[in-house]
Amino acid sequence: MPANERKCDNCGREIEPGVIPYWVRLEIFASPEPPVIYPDDLFEDHQAKMAELIEQMEALGPEECEAQVYEAYKFVICPACRNYFHHHLRQRKKP
């Protein structure tokens, strides 16, 4: 792709020179809320539970483990996609 050619990361349309591109930043992260602990949880085998969690994490690999905690993306979009996202998100976020 030539250096002066820009394409929308959402729809793939070329963003013409002189047209303002928009950036979308997306962050996905694990909730910082502490887990809910019930009285029955106090009687579980915590060492076995930790060993199970470690085994699951080892099977995922370091990149996927990190992605389950935090990941961030940046997309360049065209004005039409910006308008679509703006309208769609406004509808979902009614007060």
* Whether pLDDT at 4 is above 80: no
Domain annotation covers residue 39: no
- How many domains does the chain contain in total? 1
Structure tokens at 41: 């949880």
Q: Which residue has the tokens 């994490």?
A: 57
Question: What SS3 class is residue 50?
Answer: helix
What pLDDT does residue 25 have? 96
pTM: 0.66
- What is the per-residue pLDDT across 30-73, written as a single tens digit (0 to 9) for each? 998 998 999 998 899 999 999 998 888 888 888 888 888 899 99
Structural domain for 80, as ranges:
6-29+44-92
